[in-house]
Structure 1
Amino acid sequence: MIMPTGTIVNVAAVLAGGTAGLLLRSRMPDGIRTIVFQGLGLCTLAIGIGMSMKMQNPLVVIFSVVLGGIIGELAHLETQLERAAAFLKARVRSGNEMFIDGLITAFLLFCVGSMTILGAFDEGLRADPTLLFTKSMLDGFAAIALTATYGIGVLFSVIPLFIFQYSLTLFAGVLSTWLTEAVIAQLTATGGILILGIGLTLLDIKRIRLSNLLPALVIVVALSLLFPG
């Protein structure tokens, strides 16, 4: 059994950053909270643009996002995730109105990206958690801003974060044969588009049901293998 050192550190960093964000939130005037929220949205847009620029085959990415969205809508993924988050909210007896949004937004931001995949692979194949340590530092700082904005729901994003990231580590040997550099580039670009959606939501420009677009991340891998180059 692989010891998920990098993922454990990642979870600890999010919890530490989130706790700091909670302490700041209680002392933060509304004006500062708003500008932090907007700054985080702009930074998220910048991250999404950078990731989407890795796109190698635009048609594959476009088709993956469209088909993934259709599948997600038909499967009501957003509703299912919201129900799971609402169940967790009820169990912890949280009165935070933004609990669900915070959990889902944080999970997407922490897990949709090449550092998650490559870091988990490095730890699974070479027992090297260095990249996940770097990701942990970035996620910790992001957790401060997210929790200052959304509240305690961000802290509970560590549950799906741990499950998703550790699963990649455990199955790194199998998945690495499929996720070549070209496929990861396409996957990163697709993830970047989803992160752009997070930025638009944070800036209150347009709320996008991003959870329903998650199947695009699976479809883009399949299409990239079928139509390389």
Structure 2
Amino acid sequence: MIGPIIDSGCLLAGGLAGAYSSHLVPKRIKESLPPIFGVVTLCMGMTLVNKVAAMPVVVAALLLGTLLGELFFAERLLSAIIKKLLLATRRRRDMPVDEATVLSLVTLVSAFCFGSMGIFGAVTEAITGKPDILLAKAVLDIFSGLLFGAVFGGIVGCIALPQFAVLTLCYLCGNFCAPFMTPPLLGDFTACGGVIFAATGLRMCGIRMFPVINMLPALLLAPPLSLLWQHIFGA
């Protein structure tokens, strides 16, 4: 389980370092770099979508999964939790705790904790024993942590804790599911995550505020729907 440990460690280090060195980061850098991370996230998502085995499976999983997320108000619940944490942990009175800040942090939580690159990387390491994907994500996360830590403070470093929990859970699930994950199932799962990753990138760029948290149940639906598709159509 090398990947989850290194990835979350890099985010923790980057977030804390960014919080303590925020005064050294010019305002123009804080404003100009986040969209670049969004573009990189979007491009990685588009790459993952190419792994698809059956596009109808991905479409059905995304529609049904998002419907479930909307019914249970997943993103609204996460927003409320983050806002309470901000109010409880802020050290500076000048740190804003408004809807825009909460919305930005929800986007960061979805990108760091629930991004398809992390989930797929943890599952892949469990199946193949290779942490390459999470090591690449760790490089992105340490620089992302530095930047967003300078903007939002030490709370960005704290995101490493739920991130590690999510990645560990995905790793354990990957160990359990490895015997059943055929290439088509893994391809549809990856493509579904790629779409969510692309939506996260668009959200980070400020182009469209997709409900990425509400879309996450699609990842659970993609493998069984892919299996059903293979059983019916044989492909």
State the distance in 2 between where 1:173 and 1:28 align. 42
Structure 2-normalised TM-score?
0.81
Assess, with a 3 A threshold, how the Cα gap between structure 1 residues 52 and 145 changes in structure 2: closer, same or farther. Answer: farther
Contact 1:103 1:157 in 2 (8 A): no
Residue number in structure 2 paired with 1:117: 120
State the distance in 1 between where 2:41 and 2:129 align. 30
State the distance in 1 between where 2:151 and 2:199 align. 17
SS of residue matched to 1:200: helix
Shift of 1:113: 2.3
Contact 1:65 1:216 in 2 (8 A): yes
Deviation digits for residues 96-130 of structure 1, max 9, x if unmatched?
436644543233323422554344553x5676656
Count of matched residue positions in the alignment of Structure 1 and Structure 2: 225
Residue of 224, 227, 231 corresponding to 1:225: 227
State the distance in 1 between where 2:123 and 2:67 align. 29
Assess, with a 3 A threshold, how the Cα gap between structure 1 residues 103 and 176 changes in structure 2: closer, same or farther. Answer: farther
- Letter of the 1:10 partner, please give it: D
1:169 aligns with 2:171: yes
Contact 1:8 1:162 in 2 (8 A): yes
Contact 1:22 1:147 in 2 (8 A): yes
Give RMSD over aligned pairs: 2.7
Residue number in structure 1 paired with 2:39: 42
Contact 1:96 1:152 in 2 (8 A): no
Deviation digits for residues 113-148 of structure 1, max 9, x if unmatched?
2554344553x5676656544432332233234434
Assess, with a 3 A threshold, how the Cα gap between structure 1 residues 179 and 21 changes in structure 2: closer, same or farther. Answer: farther
Residue of 181, 184, 204 corresponding to 2:183: 181
Residue number in structure 2 paired with 1:18: 15
Q: Which runs of 5+ in 1 are unaligned?
A: none
1:83 aligns with 2:80: yes
1:143 aligns with 2:145: yes
Shift of 1:23: 4.5
Assess, with a 3 A threshold, how the Cα gap between structure 1 residues 47 and 127 changes in structure 2: closer, same or farther. Answer: closer
State the distance in 2 between where 1:21 and 1:51 align. 30
- Letter of the 2:67 partner, please give it: I
- Letter of the 1:213 partner, please give it: M
Shift of 1:221: 1.6
Contact 1:147 1:155 in 2 (8 A): yes
Query: What is the percentage of aligned positions where both structures have the same residue?
Result: 26
Structure 1-normalised TM-score?
0.83
Q: Which runs of 5+ in 2 are unaligned?
A: none
State the distance in 2 between where 1:126 and 1:47 align. 21
Contact 1:198 1:210 in 2 (8 A): yes
